[in-house]
Amino acid sequence: MNHRSQKPTSDFFRKFGFFASFTILFTLVGYTITMGLFRAFSFNVSGTQDWNLLGGFVSVLTLSFLVGGLVTSVIDRVNADIVESREKAKLSYEIYQAIFDKLTDPEQEAARRWILVNITVKKENEDIHAWYAQTQEKIMAVDASWGDGLPEGQRAVKMTLNLFDYIGFIAKNYWDIEDDSLDWLGLPIAKIWKRIGPYALEIRSLRKANDYYIFAEYIGNLCIQWRQNRGLPDEDFAKNTL
C-alpha cells in the first residue's frame, strides 16, 4: 500500500526535475546566444561593447521575433488551407462515388425507368387532384408485383424518393455541391422529380406531414432550377433506348 502511494510522488518529482533542468538549460543557452548577438551588434555599431545600445538591440530583436512569428503564422495558415482543400476534395470525391454507386445500381435504374415510362409530367393548368388520382392508380396497380408483395410502381417510386432524399440530405448538409456536380446530377434528377415531385407533395398535404421527403424536394428543385437558369431544355423520354 505504501509502495503504491509513493510511486506517483516519485514520478512527479522526476518529471518536475526534468522540466526544471530543461528550463534552466534553455535559459542559459538563450542568455548566452542573446549576449553573443548583442556583443556583435554593439561592436558593429560603436566598435565597443556599449551597454547603452542594449535597449535598441532588444527592440530589434523583438521586431525580428514579431516578423518571424507573423511569417510563420502566414505559412501555417497557407499550409492549413492546402490541407483543408485536399481533405474537402477527398470528401467530395467519396460522396460523389457513393452517390454514383447508388444512381447506377440496376434496381435504381429500373425504378427510374418505370417512372419515366408510366408517370406523366403534370401540366401547369392540370388539376392536381385529378392528376394525382390517375398517377396513384398507375403506381398502385398490381400488374407485376415484386417478391415483397408491393406493386412495381409503388416500389419504384418509394425507392427513388428514398434515394433522392439521401442525395438531398448529403447535398444540403455535407456536400458543397458545385456546377460540375449539377452538370452530372441535374438531368437524371430533374426529369424524375418533375414526374414524382407533385405526387410526393400531394401525399405530404394529405398526411399533413411537413417534413415528408423535404430533402428529396430540395435536390429536385435545385436541379430543375439549375437547368432552367442555364436554358437547358427538358428531355423527351424515348422508349426502347438506353
Q: What is the mean pLDDT of residues 210-235?
A: 86
Q: State whether 225 and 118 are in the same domain.
A: yes
Residues 135 and 224 in one domain: yes
Residues 6+ apart with CB under 8 A from 99: 167, 170, 185
Are both 68 and 14 inside the same structural domain?
A: yes
Distance CA 224, CA 241 (A): 23
Q: What is the mean pLDDT of residues 21-40?
A: 67
**Same domain, yes or no: 79 and 32:** yes
Give a yes or no: residue 35 inside a domain.
yes
Region 95-110: what's the mean pLDDT? 87
137 falls within a domain? yes
Q: Are residues 184 and 216 in the same domain?
A: yes
Q: How many domains does the chain have?
A: 2
Closest by CA position to 234, among listed 77, 150, 121, 152:
121
Q: What does pTM read for this prediction?
A: 0.62
Q: Regarding predicted confidence, which is higher, 93 or 241?
A: 93
Last residue of a domain, one of 60, 86, 112: 86
At residue 231, does pLDDT exceed 50?
A: yes
With H, G, I as helix, E, B as strand and everything else as coil, classify residue 145: strand
The verdict on 124 and 67 lying in the same domain is no
Whether 67 and 113 map to the same domain: the answer is no
> pLDDT band at 2, cuts 50/70/90?
very low
pLDDT number for residue 49: 55
Among residues 56, 86, 116, which one ends one of the domains? Answer: 86
In a domain, 140, yes or no: yes
Q: Are residues 66 and 121 in the same domain?
A: no
Instruction: Indicate the pLDDT class of residue 21, thresholds 50, 70 and 90.
Output: confident
Residue 58 and residue 114 share a domain? no
Q: Which residue range forms the structural domain that includes residue 222?
A: 104-229
Stretch among 4-8, 135-139, 141-145, 199-203 having the lowest mean pLDDT: 4-8
Looking at residue 227, its pLDDT comes to 84
Residue identified by cell 439549375 is: 226
Final residue of a structural domain among 18, 51, 86: 86
Is residue 141 domain-resident? yes
Instruction: Tell me the per-residue pLDDT of 153-200, one tens digit each, with 9 for 90 and over.
Output: 999 999 999 999 999 998 888 777 665 667 777 788 889 999 999 999
CA 176, CA 191: separation in Å to the nearest integer?
Answer: 22
- Could you tell me if 78 and 109 lie in one domain? no
Greater confidence (161 vs 47) lies with 161
97 in a structural domain: no
- What share of the chain in percent tops pLDDT 90? 29
Same domain, 130 and 25: no
Spell out the residues 6+ positions from residue 3 whose beta carbon is closer than 8 angstroms to its own.
none
Report residue 45's pLDDT band, with 50, 70 and 90 as the boundaries.
low
Are 102 and 163 spatial neighbours (Cβ–Cβ below 8 Å)? yes
Say whether pLDDT at 141 is over 80. Answer: yes
Res. 27 pLDDT band, cuts 50 70 90: low
